[in-house]
Chain A
Amino acid sequence: MESLEDFRRRARAWIEANLERRDPRRPLRTREENAALQAKLFDAGFTGFAVPKEYAGQGLSLDHQAVWVEEAGDYVTPQGYQVSIGMMMPTLLDLATEAVKKRHIPRMLRGEELFMQLLSEPSGGSDMAGALTRATKRGDSYFISGSKMWSSGALNAHYGLCLARVNWDVPKHAGLGMFVLPLKAKGVTIQGIRPATGEEAHFCIEYFDDVEIPAEYVLGGECEGWASAQRLLFHERNAVAGIGFGLGYQTSGERQAGGGWRADLVSLARKHQVLHDPALAAQIADNHIDSVVGGQLSARVNTGLVSGKLKGQWGSLVKLNQGLDLPGNAELGLSVAGADGVIWSGNAPGGETTNTWLRYRGNTIAGGSNEIQRNIVSERLLGLPREPADDRDVPFNELMKRRQQRQS
């Protein structure tokens, strides 16, 4: 395998010759620009570093990916692939059939096909194993009916990894399958959900009416969907935390560990001339400390996962830390901007601190809420006993009946 030093030299030379330096004043690129840039990286051999060559990856390692991210840090790299390449691609790598991997991973890496996740439902997101979407086998295909919700990027994506119930007569975790669902297929209806910021819809609700999925598009065994979902969530938390395959795919344009939308309050305070305001100074400093330490925590966890000292869902710890840090950041933004953050004259855009505040809860809920991360950290990382639950060993049908009785 190419040594890290050789790789670094080669990557640096290519980056200097082919990429633009990052400029914070330049607006985010359009979808087309990002796609072109992703294809350019793919064609030059700078994507899928730890993906085997047979799936059009580089056959190198995650350490190479880390080197790439270091070298490319000050340059413009494609945005918008965190989910597809950072989370879904490694999930396919772990679980998909050979034919599906050969067909789709190259297209994912080139940015031609976007994958996303279909886990949460209108009836619930935290309790993902309670999915009500139904998968019925007929011949060599499965047919999916039901509804998913909060699905980020569904309008532009080509495939979604969909958790659906195959068997209703076994306990809830044991009856699920994970399917690669074609979003452009017959029987799929997608509607955008407008977020509280009033921005364009980025998450959606989907209705599935007998959507056909060939058997080779099941991830893991027919009733092993829960384990497959765990794998997916593992990659998701890593990507959010900026570790593992997800390193470098954070959604924010900042070189910030983690994908959370975090305002730079030092610049904001300077702009509003309150950087030295005695009522705010200590909080602004603390906020800077939190942001630096958050990045350091992410780097530590990454080191631990690479060295093998840490095993398992440590991405959850980083995600939790972000979930603790972001609310403070967003709220302090309101103080820093003061009245000028909520009321402004003239036609220039404004209200960004309020928008951040409206948006940050997205990061403390999406991908498993803070509370769910705390459950994971305490139960899986610390090994503490679970709360008693009465839904685990009962056939799912029975559970549904009980619930109806209780509610009536």
Chain B
Amino acid sequence: MRLNLSEDQELMDATVRRFLEKEAPIAKIRAQYDLAEGCARDYWREFCALGWPALLVSEDLGGYALSGATAQDLAIVAEEVGRLIAAGPFTPTAVCLDALSKAGAAFGEVIAKVMSGEVIAAWAYAEAGDQWEPDALQTTARKTGGGVLLDGVKAYVEAGGQADYFLVTARAEAGLTQVLVPKGTANVVVTAAHGVDFVRRFAEVRFDGALLPESALVGPWAGADAQVRRQRQLALLLQCAESNGAVDCAFEFTVDYMRQRYAFGRPIASYQALKHRLADMLARIQASMATTDAAIDAFDAGSPEAERLVHIAKAWVGSKSSMNLSDLVQMTGGIGVTWDHDLHIYERRIAVNRALFGGPERHRQHVHRLISA
């Protein structure tokens, strides 16, 4: 969490935390492991009712601004979501609302429903084979007499099985195009995927000549490249904030345990071999928060530095968060590798976040490209 939140932000943080602790404690998350939907619709509606989705929407479409820095405000929610490995399509909702709100009043009705949690929107972006780069997308959009024709397969679509709408990023000849596709559209096939997260669900979505009216275009035809880059950055930033919350919480409960666990007549937390590892970890955790916040600030300010700083944040957080979790398991001892201990629930979320929107290695490559340009 950032260290100079405004009063409004503190209040929002406290509200979100209280809600999640009550409605989505880790025991509930455990119980939802076998739930195909990942979470109940009622819970999702109540979570949205806290108001955070409106931060992404312009005021004329029913949204509102807290600090005016959208990603900064949302990251507060993301971190709380991470702390409890909460369920629900948090990032897809944020990304879709950002795109729809920017596309304008034509989507007013859908926006209102997504904001209230009444419907779920998923971002159908990446493609099979770990493809997360805009340049690698092969799903095509073509204009025909009757509208827009989509062909291709989207993979790793979060909340794809639960979604009422898909925001599809596709390639038109001259550039990227985004289309809003309602569930049940002809020639759209959704297949649930399996995943390691306790409550996040993913799907594959296949478009075999799905025909949409031109009114389904979100933003300009073949002119969505910048918006897609923005969406990817937003998703990465929220993901980093979420991972930071998850690691911070796992760190807290593990350190508490280490104070109480005795070996050779004293708490294991008094052994220098472990204390020094915790000190290094605290530095990594604080640095993770620092780099995430710095990237968020650049994103919110529309700075040209945002691209590099977002890649840096993901490269750092992606690799350090899993390193931290591994170390916490080691210091917990045998109980840390059991099903009944919570650490693996955190490890699973961290593993998913590490991979989604490109692993740290990919982002490190981008950093290399940018610094050697």
Interface string of A298-316 (1 = CB under 8 A from B): 0111011011011000000
- 8 Å CB interface, B259-311 against A: 259, 266-267, 269-272, 275-276, 278-280, 282-283, 286-287, 289-291, 293-294, 309
Nearest-Cβ distance from residue A290 to partner chain B, whole angstroms: 8
Q: Are A297 and B270 in contact, CB atoms less than 8 angstroms apart? A: no
Contacts of A379 in B (CB 8 A): 275
Which of A309, A321, A382 gathers most chain B CB within 10 Å? A382
Contacts of A286 in B (CB 8 A): 315, 364
Contacts of B361 in A (CB 8 A): 282
Nearest-Cβ distance from residue B354 to partner chain A, whole angstroms: 15
Q: Are A285 and B287 in contact, CB atoms less than 8 angstroms apart? A: no
Contacts of A309 in B (CB 8 A): 3-4
Q: Are B367 and A297 in contact, CB atoms less than 8 angstroms apart? A: no
Contacts of B286 in A (CB 8 A): 297, 300-301, 317
Of A270, A310, A375, which contacts B3 at CB under 8 A?
A310
Q: Are B266 and A385 in contact, CB atoms less than 8 angstroms apart? A: yes
A67 at the binding interface (Cβ < 8 Å): no
B338 at the binding interface (Cβ < 8 Å): no
A13 at the binding interface (Cβ < 8 Å): no
Interface string of B317-350 (1 = CB under 8 A from A): 0000000000000000000000000000000000
Q: Are A377 and B368 in contact, CB atoms less than 8 angstroms apart? A: no
Nearest-Cβ distance from residue B9 to partner chain A, whole angstroms: 12
Q: Are A378 and B276 in contact, CB atoms less than 8 angstroms apart? A: yes
B316 at the binding interface (Cβ < 8 Å): yes
B365 at the binding interface (Cβ < 8 Å): yes
- 8 Å CB interface, A370-394 against B: 371, 373-375, 377-379, 381-382, 384-388
If A321-B283, A324-B283, A377-B279 touch, does A284 touch B368 (CB 8 Å cutoff)? yes
Of A266, A281, A303, A320, which contacts B4 at CB under 8 A?
A303
Give the distance in Å from the alpha carbon of A300 to the alpha carbon of B267 in the complex.
31
Shortest Cβ distance from B269 into A: residue: A384
Shortest Cβ distance from A373 into B: residue: B279
Give the distance in Å from the alpha carbon of A320 to the alpha carbon of B280 in the complex.
8
Give the distance in Å from the alpha carbon of A321 to the alpha carbon of B287 in the complex.
9
Give the distance in Å from the alpha carbon of A285 to the alpha carbon of B363 in the complex.
10
Of B255, B266, B364, which contacts A388 at CB under 8 A?
B266
Of A303, A371, A382, which contacts B278 at CB under 8 A?
A382
If A288-B367, A309-B3, A385-B259 touch, does A296 touch B279 (CB 8 Å cutoff)? no
Shortest Cβ distance from A299 into B: residue: B290
Give the distance in Å from the alpha carbon of A300 to the alpha carbon of B368 in the complex.
25
B150 at the binding interface (Cβ < 8 Å): no
Which of A284, A317, A378 gathers most chain B CB within 10 Å? A378
Nearest-Cβ distance from residue A291 to partner chain B, whole angstroms: 10
Of A266, A293, A303, A324, which contacts B280 at CB under 8 A?
A324
Contacts of B315 in A (CB 8 A): 285-286, 289
B205 at the binding interface (Cβ < 8 Å): no
A276 at the binding interface (Cβ < 8 Å): yes
Q: Are A374 and B280 in contact, CB atoms less than 8 angstroms apart? A: yes
Q: Are A387 and B271 in contact, CB atoms less than 8 angstroms apart? A: yes
Residue tally, chain A, CB below 8 Å to B: 43
Q: Are A293 and B282 in contact, CB atoms less than 8 angstroms apart? A: no
Give the distance in Å from the alpha carbon of A296 to the alpha carbon of B361 in the complex.
21
Nearest-Cβ distance from residue B277 to partner chain A, whole angstroms: 9
A294 at the binding interface (Cβ < 8 Å): yes
Q: Are B312 and A293 in contact, CB atoms less than 8 angstroms apart? A: yes
Nearest-Cβ distance from residue B127 to partner chain A, whole angstroms: 25
Nearest-Cβ distance from residue A295 to partner chain B, whole angstroms: 9
A342 at the binding interface (Cβ < 8 Å): no
Of B278, B279, B291, which contacts A292 at CB under 8 A?
B291
Contacts of A164 in B (CB 8 A): none
Shortest Cβ distance from A300 into B: residue: B290
Nearest-Cβ distance from residue A378 to partner chain B, whole angstroms: 4
Shortest Cβ distance from A322 into B: residue: B283
Contacts of B368 in A (CB 8 A): 281-282, 284-285, 288
Give the distance in Å from the alpha carbon of A301 to the alpha carbon of B285 in the complex.
12
Of A275, A381, A384, A388, which contacts B372 at CB under 8 A?
A275
Contacts of A374 in B (CB 8 A): 272, 275-276, 279-280
Q: Are B364 and A371 in contact, CB atoms less than 8 angstroms apart? A: no
Shortest Cβ distance from B313 into A: residue: A293
Nearest-Cβ distance from residue B313 to partner chain A, whole angstroms: 8
Of B3, B266, B267, B291, which contacts A296 at CB under 8 A?
B291
Of A281, A296, A387, which contacts B287 at CB under 8 A?
A296
Nearest-Cβ distance from residue A340 to partner chain B, whole angstroms: 19
If A375-B275, A378-B279, A387-B271 touch, does A285 touch B289 (CB 8 Å cutoff)? no
Q: Are B294 and A299 in contact, CB atoms less than 8 angstroms apart? A: yes
Which of A310, A373, A374, A379 gathers most chain B CB within 10 Å? A374
Nearest-Cβ distance from residue B188 to partner chain A, whole angstroms: 39
Contacts of B371 in A (CB 8 A): 266, 284-285, 288
Nearest-Cβ distance from residue A318 to partner chain B, whole angstroms: 8
Residues of B within 8 A of A (CB): 2-4, 255, 258-259, 266-267, 269-272, 275-276, 278-280, 282-283, 286-287, 289-291, 293-294, 309, 312, 315-316, 361, 364-365, 367-368, 371-372
Sampled A-B contacts (20; CB under 8 Å): A266-B372, A282-B364, A286-B315, A286-B364, A288-B312, A292-B309, A292-B312, A293-B316, A294-B287, A296-B290, A300-B286, A307-B4, A317-B283, A374-B272, A375-B275, A375-B276, A378-B276, A382-B278, A384-B278, A385-B259
11 additional A-B residue pairs with CB within 8 Å, beyond A309-B3, A387-B270: A266-B371, A266-B372, A282-B368, A285-B364, A285-B368, A289-B316, A297-B286, A300-B293, A382-B255, A382-B282, A385-B267
